[in-house]
Amino acid sequence: MNKNSTSEIVDTLVKKAHEAQIVFEKYNQNQVDEVVTAVAWALCKPSTNKLISNLAVSSTGLGDAEDKILKNRRKTLGLLRDLKGVKTVGVINEIKEKGIIEIAKPVGVVGSITPSTNPAATPINNIINALKGRNSIIVSPSPAGSKVFKELLVFINKELEKVKAPKNLIQTFDEPATKELTNELMLKVNLVIVTGSLNNVKQAAQSGTPAIGVGQGNVTVIVDETADLKDAAKKIKMSKTFDNATSCSSENSLIIIDEIYKKTIDLLTVEGAILLNNEKKELLEKTLWVDGRLNREVIAKPAKFIADKIKLDVDNNVKILMIEEEGIGNKFLFSGEKLSPVLTLYKAKNFEHAKEIAHKILNHQGIGHSIGIHSKNNDRVMEIGLELPVCRVIVNQAHTFATGGSFTNGLPFSLSMGCGTWQKNSIDNNLNYKHFINTTKISTTIKGSEAKLKDYFEDYCKKYSPGESIDFE
């Protein structure tokens, strides 16, 4: 595809998107919310969800269809819960004591770059947030996920026709997106949202268009001696095996305090984990990575599939492959993200040592994203939050289900987690509707409160200029 045709394709999509957005911008809040509901139902409708989830696995080769059904439903319903009653049209806030009135405005045309690991859930999440802000959106799915999203878009448009939404409110490329098309899209929209490839995140940041990119995960979870170990083992199993560990929020390493190390391993074994010996560990490493890169033929596959590859005789009850590790860094591949039901174990002498290991892992990979802890010691939870470079600390929860919002925690439902400046991200929270609106602030006069020198400098001068005569008037 030459430059001219690439430019023409993107120009056509963006022109249609702008035209749709101008119409949509005039919608009232009830109309906007109806459009949002229509899009959500397009995926949540059980028959459609099943079809799309099965297609996602068959087309990408990644994940588990039943888990994707649950993910699509749960993430979409959770987002609807977060957005219920939220105003994004007209006056959305008034701060009377400051004389400030805030009015919501659209950002315009959104470009959404989405990964193959979540070819339905991530686009829908971005679409709903964009529409809530009265924007139009162009989705550029990964080539592997393109077929899935195009099929999903057919169902979306059928629902949008029912509510008489503007045509071309949501668009995608006719053919799987090339690198050139995606880069061109980034240049010509009003806002870029990138979930997935670090190369795409970097390209978006360099595009000159306002961009929100998210960082790489490499979740570490600490299990200390005060934890409810049975509960921790169950939640780790639930989280680590969900959708064959396609989520960036899936546990990659467990750091276990020495005195409860064996007991924790035993309980994980009851939950379907198996600890590999050194020989099988070496074979697993050669299978999971090829030339230092994760092997796409193995990632996001069940533990039994991976075990067969390394000639490890296990039954279907084995859900997690565990290996022990001490090293951290590029020479120790198991210390990084694995996108598979493979769990790395580290033994810590005590809690201080556990924090030290966790910090080293974060500095190697996944800094800023999140960390989990299973503990009954609230002081230790606070230590983690105060000392480690992460945007989220997940306490006594199944990490995969909790990080991107849960019905049992207060984090916004999202499939895109910002990692702050630690990973050169522009956001440090979960992507949500607030990132898809501009606000106009009306400022009126309030009762004056003139600042005085004495109020702010008297104590400072007493401390650092004692005896000096100072006229603060």
Residues labelled catalytic: 248
DSSP 430: B
Q: Which two structure tokens, joined as six digits, stand for 27?
A: 């919608």
CA separation for the pair 92, 70 (Å, rounded): 33
Q: Which two structure tokens, joined as six digits, stand for 99?
A: 């004389």
Q: Which amino acid is at 361?
A: I
What does the angle CA 135 – CA 435 – CA 122 come to, to the nearest 5 degrees? 75
Element holding 213 (H helix, E strand): strand 211-213
Length of the chain: 473
Other C-beta atoms lying within 10 Å of the C-beta of residue 325 = 15
Task: For residue 114, give the 3-state DSSP assignment.
Answer: strand
Q: Which residue in 336, 245, 341, 250 sits closest to 293, CA to CA? A: 336
Share of the chain residues as helix, strand and coil, in percent rounded to the nearest 5: 50, 20, 35
Burial of 360 (0-12, 13-18, 19+ CB in 10 A): middle
Cβ–Cβ under 8 Å, residues 169 and 159: no
CA separation for the pair 77, 31 (Å, rounded): 19
Q: Which two structure tokens, joined as six digits, stand for 384?
A: 């983690």
> Positive or negative, the Cα torsion across 178, 179, 182, 184?
negative
DSSP per position, 223-283: E-TTS-HHHHHHHHHHHHHGGGG-STTSEEEEEEEGGGHHHHHHHHHHTTEEE--HHHHHH
What Å distances lie between residue 423 and 11, 213, 367, 426, 466, CA to CA? 31, 9, 7, 9, 45
Element holding 22 (H helix, E strand): helix 3-24
